[in-house]
Amino acid sequence: MSAETSRKFRLASVNDIPNGQGREFRVGERFVAIFRDKENFYAIEDMCPHAGAPMNDGPVSNGTVTCLWHGWRFSLRDGSCLNVPRGLPVTIFPITVEGEDLYVTLPMDGTEK
């Protein structure tokens, strides 16, 4: 018997996410932020690993998002912290565009609906 380790969720339409901005979505107990930078979409855990701030309201530029609480800047491509030495990364999730729909693949932890 195989256990499902991840699942794909439709969270938004491409038109729901304005360029240069993010939006927050809840899947079970998890909060996911989806960002648009030009025609690219990215999905991350909507919580700064530094102090727990929501990331979805942070400014987006050149594939990065900046936490509004303390200015930590993260790569939306790989989650790495770009401006703080030894800064913790933010968790990223695979995102796919199918037609006009945005799907995010999340690990299964029992809290998804």
**Would you list the domain boundaries of the chain?**
6-107
Give residue 1's pLDDT: 37
Give residue 113's pLDDT: 52
Q: Specify burial of residue 103 (Cβ count, 10 A radius: 0-12, 13-18, 19+).
A: middle
pTM, to two decimals: 0.91
CATH number for the segment(s) 6-107: 2.102.10.10
The Cα–Cα gap between 15 and 75 comes to: 23
Q: SS3 breakdown of the chain: % helix, strand, coil, rounded to 5?
A: 5, 45, 50
pLDDT in tens, 45-59: 999 999 999 999 999
